[in-house]
Amino acid sequence: MLSPLSYFCGLAALAFIITGLVVAAIRWFHMCQPYDRQPEYYYPGRPFVVGIYLNALVLLPYVLHPDSTDAWYLVRLYFLPVTLFHFTLLLFSYFGNVMQWRRWRVPALISGLPMALALLFALVLAIWPGEQIADGGVVSLFAARCVLYILGLVATAVCAMALVIVLRWARSFDEDDFSNPADFPVVSARKWIGLVLTNIVLCWTGALFDSRALLAVIMILLASSSVVFIISILHPKRNRPLQEADPEEEVSAGSEPAPADQNNSDSHRMLLDAIHQVVVEREAYQEPHLTIQDVADRIGYSRSYIAGIFKSEFGGFFTYVNKLRIESVEKYLQENPDATVQEAAEVSGFLSRRAYYNVKAKMNQ
């Protein structure tokens, strides 16, 4: 006979599972039009979101047997290391794709392997008849707790690393990759960081206090945060306007040189000429959402190599492009006395007059 507390805990877990399934279904089947034509750009990380929320199904043994010690351990394992690892995947799968940085995948997945194995083992124990986690059982209570907290510390460290990297991106994106400060979803990044930090506190609170009632409340809070999360990502947070692909003719500066050739004056001059041809002569600076990756693709060099050239020769990509835009605004106003600043700003590559003034102030011009 289940106690009222057991019923409450089982229902809380069921509510969490249902919320996860709904979030996964919405994320997979719903995309705002017309952004659904380019989901890889406007909804990066979508498959990871779906997979993470479908993973809540492993909690079914606890829903069916909320008074089981094995099922209770499964829940505790899920809501400490596994959930924290999910946060890491969410951060990197979205912002990592935005920054076109995919090196996170191998180390992140390797760090998540022990958690996946522990979760699978705990799921088997929860399904197996009888109580397997007990003094004298298959796994002792002390060993189970040690595994829980060790994996929890590892998952917390990995998640903290992800938070630091995303925060660094949010602070330095304009000079590193983008010509328009609005292209990196800074507001979303800060909100997500706050949400993840809050959930880390909730997860550790549930793990340290070892209270079924408390963790049931935390499940409800985490389910609520999932609803907030899915609402916040329904509309894409990226600012590049949807448009048909317009293939650019690549400017050939030759194949990318090996590091030993970087000081070759002819190769260096050829690369500078190629950058000038793309950004200035072809007026790529007038594209409000121009990124350093766009320039690298059109020239035929890697983003990291081009970034080094911009940094050493021009003070950074952001500085170089927006200096051209500011000069273009001034020239346009001189040649068109009746034009407004708004018109001159938009023609020159700024999103608005306000963006023009903000960038100009940032560059102290």
* Residue pLDDT, tens place only, 52-88: 999 999 999 999 999 999 999 999 999 999 999 999 9
Residue 142 CA to residue 146 CA, distance in Å, equals 6
Cα distances (Å, whole numbers) of residue 263 to 254, 256, 260, 267: 15, 13, 7, 8
pLDDT band at 238 (very low <50, low <70, confident <90, very high): low
Q: Tell me the residue length of the chain.
A: 365
Cα distances (Å, whole numbers) of residue 276 to 38, 104, 281, 324: 30, 33, 7, 11
pLDDT band at 315 (very low <50, low <70, confident <90, very high): confident
pLDDT band at 31 (very low <50, low <70, confident <90, very high): confident
Residue 147 CA to residue 336 CA, distance in Å, equals 71
Residue 257's pLDDT is what?
46
37 or 155, which is more confident: 155
| 244's tokens | 């048909």
pTM of the full structure: 0.69
363 or 226, which is more confident: 226
Cα distances (Å, whole numbers) of residue 163 to 25, 84, 95, 153: 27, 11, 10, 15
- What is the pLDDT of the chain when averaged over all its residues? 84
CB 317 within 8 A of CB 307: yes
Whether the pLDDT of residue 135 is over 90: the answer is no
Residue 28 CA to residue 46 CA, distance in Å, equals 7
pLDDT band at 245 (very low <50, low <70, confident <90, very high): very low
DSSP characters over 7-75: HHHHHHHHHHHHHHHHHHHHHHH---TTGGGSHHHHSTTHHHHHHHHHGGGGGHHHHH-TT-HHHHHHH
